[in-house]
Structure formats: structure tokens, C-alpha cells
Amino acid sequence: MSFSTEQKFWNLLKEQSSYEEAIGLMAWDMRTKAPKKGVENRSEVIGVLSQKVHEIQTCNEIKLYIDELKKTASDPKLIAALREAEETYHRTNKIPTQLYKEFVTLQTTAESKWAEAKENNDFESFQPYLEELVRYNREFAELWGYEDHIYDALLHNYEPGVTVKQLDQVFPKVRDELAALLTKIQESEVSPDPAILQGHFPKHLQEAFSEEILKRMSYDFDAGRLDETIHPFAIGLNTNDVRVTTKYDERDFRTAVFGTIHEGGHALYEQNIDPDLSFTPLATGTSMGIHESQSLFWENFIARSREFWENHYSLFQSHAPDRFKQVSFDDFFLAVNEVKPSLIRIEADELTYCLHIMVRYELEKALINGEIEVKQLPELWNEKMKTYLGVVPDSDSTGVLQDIHWAGGDFGYFPSYALGYMYAAQFDSAMRKDVNVSAAVRSGDFQLIKNWLSNRIHQYGKMKKPLDILEEVTGEGLNPNDLVNYLRNKYKHIYRF
Amino acid sequence: MSFSTEQKFWNLLKEQSSYEEAIGLMAWDMRTKAPKKGVENRSEVIGVLSQKVHEIQTCNEIKLYIDELKKTASDPKLIAALREAEETYHRTNKIPTQLYKEFVTLQTTAESKWAEAKENNDFESFQPYLEELVRYNREFAELWGYEDHIYDALLHNYEPGVTVKQLDQVFPKVRDELAALLTKIQESEVSPDPAILQGHFPKHLQEAFSEEILKRMSYDFDAGRLDETIHPFAIGLNTNDVRVTTKYDERDFRTAVFGTIHEGGHALYEQNIDPDLSFTPLATGTSMGIHESQSLFWENFIARSREFWENHYSLFQSHAPDRFKQVSFDDFFLAVNEVKPSLIRIEADELTYCLHIMVRYELEKALINGEIEVKQLPELWNEKMKTYLGVVPDSDSTGVLQDIHWAGGDFGYFPSYALGYMYAAQFDSAMRKDVNVSAAVRSGDFQLIKNWLSNRIHQYGKMKKPLDILEEVTGEGLNPNDLVNYLRNKYKHIYRF
């Protein structure tokens, strides 16, 4: 039996995708179910399969197929698959194997040094490792290449097509407008009382509520599962097996409710990718930022809206301690939308969250550009926190050391979180031209919303690049106004300014 | 970096073993947790990884390594790994790829034809497929080769080293002695009342009881899990991740209790293999029969013994409906040891079980030998059931069509079940020379028993062949007397003959 070049190309991608699905299941298993003693062996197995993925991505064979097929390809799926495979081939091959191995070793060491440093509030002990990580990232960026800014080469890993130039046109506006909104909120006489949200929330009731909301979001339980974990995530193994995980805090229902809806938003993306893209690199979300737009859209634009709770508060009450029967809807809604500057990014409300990202973006860009040095980070971090959020960490542990990203060698990742907010707001504005979102949310029927997202975004997987999707769906490029307007309109009502 | 031939050999085996671990996890997942819509894609992924295993097993490279290393190998682990890899290489390469593909296609079709035929009690519709399966098995056997009997070549797949000649020396004795015992039991005036075992057994209590027993057996929950499934199994992903599954029937506690202990016996074997054998083909049980000896030992020799229930009946009562407080120990013990000929193998008691196997062994051996034809099976089946068990199926669905094995193309497999009983009885006799088993079981402390099995059997994995282990542990070869004596002594007391 002899295969055409195109068939051989698809076969290689299928083999790669099969390893990735197996790795995905092993990763899910390790984070949900796996017995602890088996983890060491399992990690080695993941290592072996990851090596196979790497071999396919960088082999001469795939380069030959790509070069031959590119000449005549006309089918959009083939063209997109060739584009993705070629880009991966080039970027991966540009990093010498030895250099990459050194970097992986450094990552592992740096993560454990970071954990110690965070524990002991000792930035200095971590500083040399972070300096090395910055150095490797700069070296990778030079090898990958860029047009304007060295940092663009790193951004490309998470948000292909987005550049410093673009970010610097929109992020300062987001930053300044949100900081101004925050000031107004802090001057307001309205003061939410989060203490009313406290209570004992039995796990099984939280689980039932989470499942019910996922079902209403059109999450397909025949093509997924909901499990418990420590650090929640969603994972698409294939379009018909997309799993959500969540965490139940029996003292704070918000962790599971908003967390499940957030991960559910990621999962809806992966469940609704065109199955025809299966077994290719196209069968996943197109970028970190677009993925985040889907989770944030459901978590904030839907599940923190007045309409959502108008419909769901009674369902929530039936899954909460009796005392919630005495908590009025208005007090409850106000409390779950409290805006309050805080030190920790992952605990931030939807308004201040982007300000945390701005601190990180500005610092890591300057680091990679060589404008600042690692040793200046703690001081600069605290200055920016004071300027944008009005709070100053009392230790580096709750300041510059709080996130694992830099310790893992990830630079260029943070902007995707803020881009996710901006994309979500732009999609929300576009959707409201087609769909009566308020009425749909109030009625608890999310089908129209989910279909709108699936038709315009989900189904394409990686067929389209993030900014192309944005342009096609909203008719424009990155625009900070939708996010700023959404937040202003929402919090103007809540905080009455 | 350049590797020695030995290192290259181990690397290939590690790659194979990594695929196998990933396949194992995917199989476990499909049978316990996986969403139904994802199964189709997952099956393709398993297909891709299985193909990689096959490629390694049959590649020229591994043959070159084996041939070179064989010349000088002196380390026992290397020698055993070379022996296993070489045997797999030869047996797999002897079957032409095209022939094997035809067989796999036939298997799939035959299994669904069998399911229909069983449903409709229509042997004739299945007959042509079974004829083909026999034909392929005969062809494979000829390709693999054999010394005395063609059926030996098939036996080798499940019980390497065991031959028709050996089986025919022991099985008739087992068959006749058990049939004679059965007659005595049926003549006895003692009559157990299984109706007293009925009740409603809530799942969570069965689960708690199952977990407790597994813990007492020294099953390590940090290196395993207990989950629910439809057709229970145990699976060793690696020696530190060996999972048990069970089924909870709320009307009949015996399914979960004896099922969990049975699978727990399999799991103890896999958990206690020397970790130094990890990532080689030696890191699993040495044969179907030796594996079955471990599960049957725990299920029958331990968990159906008087001593076991003397210790555990009160624990059981606390996990059972209140009414069990009125059921006396003696009545309970008698009921769980009822011997009663029945039509269905998987529902058989420990005494009649082997008689079911004899029916199948004699028929499949004659089929492969060409002494009988497929179309004669229903009649011959019923005759043998009448002769050995005294019962005759009222339909082929509860007769010759009951098991999936032949429909899956598996011939040579059934004897391992009876060998498992015989091995277990021989191990039990040997153990009693070293350990006061009755006292240990009565005290509920199984550590001595588990250690005895681990030291003599488990740790070696596939380092030793089944009959070598038997010889080393018991000082003799296959011997039916231990099984016959065990059953006679046990049921003589129970049925007072």
C-alpha cells in the first residue's frame, strides 16, 4: 500500500495528536485521580511521549511534506495545517537541542527555588535563577526573530500576531481608565458586605449546583466530566472528551461557582470545535487570549451579571445554608460584585484584575528589553502596585514572588489574560447586536449565546488566527473601549457614581 | 552522545512500555470514567499507540540488539528481557501482516455476530464466523509451530511451557474427582439457604467494606485506586499504579465483596513486582494462570474460608441491613459456600467452576485438532454439561454461546482458569508449611500471607516462567491433588459427608 504525500502528512499529524491525547489524559489523571506513588513513573512516560511529539514536529520528513504540499494546497484545512506545522517546525528547530535541555533543567530548579523563596520571603535567593531565565528567554527570542521588539518573539508563543506596538496602543488606556474607575468606586458610599456570603456550603450541594449550571451552559456531559482538583483547569482530550475540574471550598462557594463556570467557558470552546479538524494541530483553541475570552465571558459577562442572579439566586439558595433565605437579592448581588484592590492577582475582582496584569506586562517587557534588571523588580513591583492599585505588598511573597509564571520561564504569557478581558468585551458588544443577551440570561436559556459563540469562534479551532477572528466577529481590531465601557456601565449602577 | 547496544535495547523497551502504560490508562479510563462520545476518538488513539508497540516488537533494530547482546549477556534481568523480546519478535513476525489484519477484522465482526446470536439463541448464524476463527487459529498455530499438539501453540500464548500432554495428565483427574465430590454434595442432607443473603445493600456501605478488606490485604491505596465499572478488572499501569475496579449490586453483596477481593489478588501481584523491572516486558505477571492463582487464592482460599468470616462477619454485619444481626454465623457461612451446578460459568461456585472449564478445554482442543466440527458444538456442549455437571442448557444462549472468548478468537485461554485453581491450591499447601494461615486469617492480619506470596511469586514478574515458579515454590510440577484435597476437606465439613 502506498500513500500520497498528503496522506503521509496527515498520518504524521495523527500520530502526534494521538501522543498529545494520551499525554493529556495522563496529565488530567495526575491532577485528579492518580495514586501519588505512581507519579514518578507516569512523569517518565509523559517524557517519552513528549519526546515523540518533538521528533515529529522537527523531523526532516514533515519538512519535505510541507514544502511539497505548500506548492499546490488549496483546501483551507490543509493550508492551515501546513501553516501551523511549518511554524512549529521552524520555531522548534531554531532552538538548539542542548540549549533547550539546559533551559528545561533550569526551569525545574528555578521553580523549586522560587517556591522556597516565596515561602521565606527571600527574593535575593531566587534572583540569580530569574536572571538566568531572562537570559534564556532573550536568547530564544533572538533565535526566533522579530521585527520591532524582542518581546514580540515571546508574545508570539501565546498570542500569535499580537505585538508590543499593538499592546502599547491599548493597555495604557485600559490601565488608566480602570484606575480612574477604581477611584470612583472607592469614593462611593455604597459598601458591599462580603461577610454575608460566609457559611458552610456542603460539597455535594456545590457539586450539584455546578453541574446544573454547566448543563444550562450547554456543556455536554456525554462529551465531558466534572471532577475535583486542587488547581482547577479544563482540558480538551478530543472534541468529544473535554473535561472540567473544579475545587470545592466549603467556606466560600464563589471558588467553585465562578471557577466551574470559568472552566466551563474553556470547555465549551473545545467541545464545539469542528470534529473534521480532529487529529490535526487545528483541533484546539487558537490562542491563550481567545481561550481566556471564552472563560471570562461566561464567568463575568454572564455569571456576574444582575440578570444571571435574577434567574439563579433561588436555585443557589436551595443549595446553600438556610440563612441565605434571609439574604436579599440586592445585598447578595452587591457582595458578589465587590470591587476592592488587593495584593494577589488570582483573588482579584473583575475590575482590578487587569491592573495586576499591567504591572506584570510592563515589568516583563522592560526586563526582556534590557531596560531594567531583575534585582530592581521588587521595588518597581511595589511602586506600580501603589500607583495603579493603591496597595503595597508587605512582603515580596505577596508581591513579586506570588506567581509561578516567571519561575517556570514563561515570559509573554501575562498579556493574554488582559487580552482575554478585552476580546470578551468586544465579543459581548458584537453579540448584543445579534442576540438579546439580557433576556436570554434572565430566562436561563443560554442556547442562543452558546450557539453565537460556537458559530463565530469555537468551530474554527486554530483555522483562524486570534486577530483574524476578532476582526471577523467584531469588524475591528483590538479596542479597549468595549471593556472600559462594560465595566463603567456595570459598576456605575452598582456603586452609584 | 552515543549509546551502547544494551542501552539502546533498554531504551526501545522503555518506549514500548511507555506506550503500554498510556494504553493501559486509556483502557482503564474508557471502562470507568470516560464520556461515551469520546470513545470513538480514544479507540483510534489506542490504535495508533498499539501500532507503535507492534513496530518496536517486530523491528529489525531490536533483532540486531538481541542477537548481539545474547552472545555475552550474564545479568539475569538482561537475559530474561532478551528472552521475552526475542520470543515476541519471532511469534509476531511469523504472522504475515495481511493475515493478522484479516483476523482482526474478523474478530470485530464475529464479536457482534456472536452478541446477536446469543441474544436470539441462534447458533447457526454465528457458526460460519466461528469456523473462520478456528481456521485462522489453526493457521497461526502452524506458523508458530509446536512439538506434539497443534493446540500447544495456542496454549503458549497464555501459559508458556504448559502442553496438552501435561494438561491431559491432570485435568481428567480434576474433572472426575470434582464430579464425584459434587455427587456427594448433592446427596448430602445439608442444604444452604442463599435466600438469607438477600437484602438491600447500599452502595456506599459496600464500598466502605470493600476498601477496608483491600487495606487489610495490604493493597496499597497510595499506589492504586478502587473504582466502579460494569465488568470488573484490575490493571497494573506501573508497579506504583495498580488499579482495582468492582461492581456494586445493591441486591447481592457477593458480587462486590468476592469480586473486589479477587481483583485485589491480581493487584497485589502487580503492586509487588520488583520496581527494578519497570519499563521492561518483565514488569507484569508471568502468565494468565499464575495471575489467576493469585486472585483465586484470595477470593476462595482466604475469603471463603471459615476463619475469614469468623473474623469479618461482624464487620460485614455493620455494613449490611439490620436483619443480618439475626442471621447466624453458621447459616451465613453455609450460604456463601453453597455448591450448586448451574449453567453459567461466571456464576459458578468454586467447586463446579473447574467443571465448566473442562467442558470448554475438551471442546476447543478437539476443534483445533480437527477432531470435531464447529457445527457439532451445541450438541457436544450439552452432552458434556450433562455428564460433568448434571445440568443441560435449555438454550444455546445459556450454553455454548455464553462466553465471548471464542467469538474474540481466543483459543487456548480457558485452561488458564483451571490452572489458576490448581496453582492456587499448590501454593496454599506450600504456604501452610511455612505460615500458620488459619491463625493469620482468623486474626485478620494478612501481612505474613501477602509477604509469602510477594517473596516467592510477585517480585519476579516475568523473570520466571510459570512452571519454574511452581516448581521452585512447591517443589513439584502440576499436581491436581492439592486442589482436590482442598475442596474435599472443605466441603466434607460443610456438607458433612
Contacts of A29 in chain B (CB under 8 A): 25, 29
In a domain, B67, yes or no: yes
Contacts of A224 in chain B (CB under 8 A): 35
Average pLDDT over residues A268-293: 98
Q: Does A295 touch chain B (CB under 8 A)?
A: no
Contacts of A279 in chain B (CB under 8 A): 44
State yes or no: pLDDT of A410 exceeds 90: yes
Q: How many domains does chain A have?
A: 2
Catalytic residues of A: 263
pLDDT, averaged across chain A: 96
Q: Which residue in the set A14, A241, A279 is minimally distant from B35, CB to CB? A: A241
In a domain, A466, yes or no: yes
Question: Looking at the structure, do residues B73 and B171 belong to the same domain, yes or no?
Answer: no
In a domain, A119, yes or no: no
Picking from A59, A79, A94, the residue at the C-terminal end of a domain is: A94
Which domain range does residue A451 map to? 150-497
For residue B213, the domain's CATH number is 1.10.1370.30
Give the pLDDT of residue A3.
83
Question: Looking at the structure, do residues A62 and A180 belong to the same domain, yes or no?
Answer: no
Q: Does B121 touch chain A (CB under 8 A)?
A: no
Question: Looking at the structure, do residues B284 and B421 belong to the same domain, yes or no?
Answer: yes
Best B19, B20, B41 residue to mutate vs chain A (most A CBs within 10 Å)? B41
Provide the percentage of residues in chain A whose pLDDT is more than 90.
Answer: 98
Residue range B219-254, pLDDT digits in tens:
999 999 999 999 999 999 999 999 999 999 999 999
Contacts of B34 in chain A (CB under 8 A): 225, 241
CA distance B153 to chain A (A): 31
Contacts of B241 in chain A (CB under 8 A): 34-35, 37-38, 41-42
| Chain-chain contact of A37 with B222 (C-beta, under 8 angstroms) | yes
Q: Does A54 touch chain B (CB under 8 A)?
A: no
Q: Does A279 touch chain B (CB under 8 A)?
A: yes
Question: Looking at the structure, do residues B322 and B417 belong to the same domain, yes or no?
Answer: yes
| Chain-chain contact of A26 with B25 (C-beta, under 8 angstroms) | yes
For B121: left if phi > 0, alpha if psi spans -120 to 50, otherwise beta; the answer is: left
Q: B210-239 as b/e, with b when 16 or more CB fall inside 10 Å? A: beebbebbbbbeebbbbeebeebbbbbbbb
Q: Does A33 touch chain B (CB under 8 A)?
A: yes
Residue B307 marked in a binding site? no
Q: How many residues does chain A have?
A: 497
Q: Does A236 touch chain B (CB under 8 A)?
A: no
Under 8 Å between Cβ of B440 and B448: yes
Under 8 Å between Cβ of A254 and A194: no
Q: Which of B21, B263, B350, B362 is catalytic?
A: B263
Residue range B205-217, pLDDT digits in tens:
999 999 999 999 9
Under 8 Å between Cβ of B349 and B185: no
Picking from A78, A94, A110, the residue at the C-terminal end of a domain is: A94
Residue of B nearest to A275 (CA): B41
Q: Which residue in the set A14, A49, A225 is minimally distant from B33, CB to CB? A: A225
State yes or no: pLDDT of B402 exceeds 90: yes
Residue range B54-94, pLDDT digits in tens:
999 999 999 999 999 999 999 999 999 999 999 999 999 99
Contacts of B238 in chain A (CB under 8 A): 38, 41-42, 45
Per-residue pLDDT band at A2 (split at 50, 70, 90) = low
Residue A292 marked in a binding site? yes
Q: Scanning the structure block, which residue is given the C-alpha cell 450439552?
A: B382
Whole-angstrom distance, CA of residue B41 vs CA of residue B107: 20
Q: Does B98 touch chain A (CB under 8 A)?
A: no
Whole-angstrom distance, CA of residue A48 vs CA of residue B52: 13
In a domain, B111, yes or no: no
CA distance B26 to chain A (A): 7
Q: Does B42 touch chain A (CB under 8 A)?
A: yes
Whole-angstrom distance, CA of residue A70 vs CA of residue B208: 60
Give the pLDDT of residue B2.
67
Residue range B407-435, pLDDT digits in tens:
999 999 999 999 999 999 999 999 999 99
Question: Looking at the structure, do residues B343 and B477 belong to the same domain, yes or no?
Answer: yes
Q: Which amino acid type is present at position A400? A: V
| Chain-chain contact of A222 with B35 (C-beta, under 8 angstroms) | yes
Residue A60, Cβ neighbours under 10 Å: how many? 8
Per-residue three-class SS string for chain B: CCCCHHHHHHHHHHHHHHHHHHHHHHHHHHHHCCCHHHHHHHHHHHHHHHHHHHHHHHCHHHHHHHHHHHCCCCCHHHHHHHHHHHHHHHHHHHCCHHHHHHHHHHHHHHHHHHHHHHHHCCHHHHHHHHHHHHHHHHHHHHHHCCCCCHHHHHHHHHCCCCCHHHHHHHHHHHHHHHHHHHHHHHHCCCCCCHHHHCCCCCHHHHHHHHHHHHHHCCCCHHHCCEEECCCCCEEEEECCEEEEEECCCCCCHHHHHHHHHHHHHHHHHHHCCCHHHCCCCCCCCCCHHHHHHHHHHHHHHHCCCHHHHHHHHHHHHCCCCHHHHHCCHHHHHHHHCCCCCCCCHHHCCCCCHHHHHHHHHHHHHHHHHCCCCHHHHHHHHHHHHHHHHCCCCCCHHHCCCCCCCCCCCCCCCCHHHHHHHHHHHHHHHHHHHHCCHHHHHHHCCCHHHHHHHHHHCHHHCCCCCHHHHHHHHHCCCCCCHHHHHHHHHHHHHHHCC
Picking from B46, B76, B94, the residue at the C-terminal end of a domain is: B94
Q: Does B33 touch chain A (CB under 8 A)?
A: yes
Contacts of B222 in chain A (CB under 8 A): 35-37
Question: Looking at the structure, do residues B248 and B157 belong to the same domain, yes or no?
Answer: yes
In a domain, A134, yes or no: no
In a domain, A193, yes or no: yes
Residue range A203-261, pLDDT digits in tens:
999 999 999 999 999 999 999 999 999 999 999 999 999 999 999 999 999 999 999 99
State yes or no: pLDDT of B370 exceeds 60: yes
Q: Does B45 touch chain A (CB under 8 A)?
A: yes
Per-residue three-class SS string for chain A: CCCCHHHHHHHHHHHHHHHHHHHHHHHHHHHHCCCHHHHHHHHHHHHHHHHHHHHHHHCHHHHHHHHHHHCCCCCHHHHHHHHHHHHHHHHHHHCCHHHHHHHHHHHHHHHHHHHHHHHHCCHHHHHHHHHHHHHHHHHHHHHHCCCCCHHHHHHHHHCCCCCHHHHHHHHHHHHHHHHHHHHHHHHCCCCCCHHHHCCCCCHHHHHHHHHHHHHHCCCCHHHCCEEECCCCCEEEEECCEEEEEECCCCCCHHHHHHHHHHHHHHHHHHHCCCHHHCCCCCCCCCCHHHHHHHHHHHHHHHCCCHHHHHHHHHHHHHCCCHHHHHCCHHHHHHHHCCCCCCCCHHHCCCCCHHHHHHHHHHHHHHHHHCCCCHHHHHHHHHHHHHHHHCCCCCCHHHCCCCCCCCCCCCCCCCHHHHHHHHHHHHHHHHHHHHCCHHHHHHHCCCHHHHHHHHHHCHHHCCCCCHHHHHHHHHCCCCCCHHHHHHHHHHHHHHHCC
Under 8 Å between Cβ of B146 and B94: no
Under 8 Å between Cβ of A391 and A347: no
Residue of B nearest to A224 (CA): B35
Under 8 Å between Cβ of B95 and B89: no
| Chain-chain contact of A240 with B21 (C-beta, under 8 angstroms) | no
Residue of B nearest to A25 (CA): B26
Question: Looking at the structure, do residues A69 and A201 belong to the same domain, yes or no?
Answer: no
Question: Looking at the structure, do residues B20 and B128 belong to the same domain, yes or no?
Answer: no
Whole-angstrom distance, CA of residue A368 vs CA of residue B461: 53
CA distance B21 to chain A (A): 7
- CB burial class (10 A; 0-12, 13-18, 19+) of residue B2? exposed
| Chain-chain contact of B37 with A237 (C-beta, under 8 angstroms) | no
Q: Does B252 touch chain A (CB under 8 A)?
A: no
For residue A51, the domain's CATH number is 1.20.58
Question: Looking at the structure, do residues B133 and B84 belong to the same domain, yes or no?
Answer: no
| Chain-chain contact of B22 with A45 (C-beta, under 8 angstroms) | yes
In a domain, B110, yes or no: no
CA distance A315 to chain B (A): 27
Q: Does A15 touch chain B (CB under 8 A)?
A: yes
The contacts of residue B26 (CB under 8 Å, 6+ apart) are: A22, A25, B42, B45, B46, B49
Contacts of A33 in chain B (CB under 8 A): 33, 225
Residue range B311-355, pLDDT digits in tens:
999 999 999 999 999 999 999 999 999 999 999 999 999 999 999
Whole-angstrom distance, CA of residue A249 vs CA of residue A251: 5
Give the pLDDT of residue A225.
97
| Chain-chain contact of A38 with B279 (C-beta, under 8 angstroms) | no
Give the pLDDT of residue B3.
84
Residue B244's beta-bridge partner residues? B226, B234
Under 8 Å between Cβ of B494 and B334: yes
Provide the percentage of residues in chain B whose pLDDT is more than 90.
Answer: 98
In a domain, B99, yes or no: no
CA distance B224 to chain A (A): 5
Question: Looking at the structure, do residues B193 and B335 belong to the same domain, yes or no?
Answer: yes
Contacts of A25 in chain B (CB under 8 A): 22, 25-26, 29
| Chain-chain contact of B238 with A38 (C-beta, under 8 angstroms) | yes
Q: Does B29 touch chain A (CB under 8 A)?
A: yes
Question: Looking at the structure, do residues A364 and A487 belong to the same domain, yes or no?
Answer: yes
Question: Looking at the structure, do residues A41 and A184 belong to the same domain, yes or no?
Answer: no
The contacts of residue B159 (CB under 8 Å, 6+ apart) are: B287, B288, B289, B412, B415, B416, B419, B466
